[in-house]
Amino acid sequence: MVSRVIPVDTFDLVIFGGTGDLARRKILPGLYRRYLAGQMNADSRIIGAARAKNTVEQFRDLIHAALVEFVPKDRQEPADMAAFLAHLDYVAIDAKEESGWTNLKAILRPNVVRAFYFSVAPALFGDLAERLHAHHITDAGSRIVLEKPFGRDLISARALNATLSKYFSEAQIYRIDHYLGKETVQNLMAVRFANILFEPIWKAQYIDHVQITVAETMGVEGRGAYYDKSGAMRDMVQNHMMQLLCLIAMEPPYHFDPDAVRDEKVKVIRALQPITSAEIVRGQYLAGKDDGGYIEHSQDPNSKTESYIALKVEIANWRWKGTPFYLRTGKKLRARYSEIAITFKEPPHSIFDDANGWKPNVLVIRLQPNEGMNLMVMIKEPGPGGMRLMQVPLDMTFADALGADADDVPDAYERLIMDVIRGNQTLFMRGDEVEAAWAWTDPIIQGWEARGDRPQGYDAGSSGPEDALMLLHRDGRRWREIKE
Ligand code: NAP
Q: Which atom of ligand 1 is nearest to 24's Cα?
A: 26
* Residues labelled as active-site residues: 240
Residue 2 has pLDDT above 50, yes or no: no
Q: pLDDT digit string (tens) for 30-47?
A: 999 999 999 998 999 999
Residue percentage of the chain with pLDDT more than 90: 80
Q: pLDDT digit string (tens) for 409-463?
A: 678 899 999 999 999 999 999 999 999 999 999 999 999 999 999 999 999 999 9
| 476-483 CB contacts, 8 Å cutoff, 24+ apart | 477/208, 477/209, 477/326, 477/343, 479/211, 479/213, 479/326, 479/328, 480/211, 480/213, 480/339, 480/341, 480/364, 482/213, 482/215, 482/333, 482/334, 482/335, 482/337, 483/334, 483/335, 483/337
Predicted confidence at residue 36, as pLDDT, reads 95
397 pLDDT band, cuts 50/70/90, is confident
Residue 406 has pLDDT above 70, yes or no: no
Nearest CA to ligand 1 atom 3: 20
Check residues 207 and 351 and name the one with the higher pLDDT.
207
Q: Is 22 in the pocket of ligand 1 (CB under 6 A)?
A: yes
Q: Is 124 in the pocket of ligand 1 (CB under 6 A)?
A: yes
Predicted confidence at residue 356, as pLDDT, reads 67
Predicted confidence at residue 371, as pLDDT, reads 83
Predicted confidence at residue 122, as pLDDT, reads 93
Residue 294 has pLDDT above 80, yes or no: yes
Residue (of 212, 174, 82) closest to 415 by Cα position = 174
407 pLDDT band, cuts 50/70/90, is low
The alpha carbon of 306 and the centre of ligand 1 are apart by a number of angstroms equal to: 24
Predicted confidence at residue 387, as pLDDT, reads 80
Residue 141 has pLDDT above 60, yes or no: yes
The alpha carbon of 63 and the centre of ligand 1 are apart by a number of angstroms equal to: 15
Mean per-residue pLDDT, 320-341: 97
Count of beta carbons in the 10 Å neighbourhood of residue 274: 11
Predicted confidence at residue 355, as pLDDT, reads 62
Mean per-residue pLDDT, 20-37: 96
Residue 244 has pLDDT above 50, yes or no: yes
For a mutational test of ligand 1's pocket, the pick from 14, 15, 16, 21, i.e. the residue with the most ligand atoms closer than 8 A to its C-beta, is 21
Check residues 472 and 404 and name the one with the higher pLDDT.
472
Residue 222 has pLDDT above 50, yes or no: yes
Q: pLDDT digit string (tens) for 83-107?
A: 999 999 999 999 999 999 999 999 9
For a mutational test of ligand 1's pocket, the pick from 15, 19, 22, 174, i.e. the residue with the most ligand atoms closer than 8 A to its C-beta, is 22
Mean per-residue pLDDT, 210-215: 98
Predicted TM-score (pTM) of the model is 0.94
Determine how β-strand 372-380 pairs with β-strand 389-397.
Answer: antiparallel
Mean per-residue pLDDT, 339-355: 86
Half-sphere exposure of 80 (CA within 13 A, CB side): 18
Predicted confidence at residue 386, as pLDDT, reads 78
Q: What HEC string does the chain produce?
A: CCCCCCCCCCEEEEEECCCCHHHHHHHHHHHHHHHHCCCCCCCCEEEEEECCCCCHHHHHHHHHHHHHHHCCHHHCCHHHHHHHHCCEEEEECCCCCCCCHHHHHHHCCCCCEEEEEECCCHHHHHHHHHHHHHCCCCCCCCEEEECCCCCCCHHHHHHHHHHHHHHCCHHHEEECCHHHHCHHHHHHHHHHHCCCCCHHHCCCCCEEEEEEEEECCCCCHHHHHHHHCCHHHHHHHHHHHHHHHHHHHCCCCCCCCHHHHHHHHHHHHHCECCCCHHHEEEEEECCCCCCCCHHHHCCCCCCCCCCEEEEEECECCCCCCCCCEEEEEECCECCCEEEEEEEECCCCCCCCCCCCCCCCCEEEEEEECCCEEEEEEEEECCCCCCCCEEEEEEEEEHHHHHHHHHHHCCCHHHHHHHHHHHCCCCCCECHHHHHHHHHHHHHHHHHHHHHCCCCEEECCCECCCHHHHHHHHCCCCCCCCCCC
Question: Rounded mean pLDDT of the chain?
Answer: 93
Q: Which atom of ligand 1 is nearest to 19's Cα?
A: 9
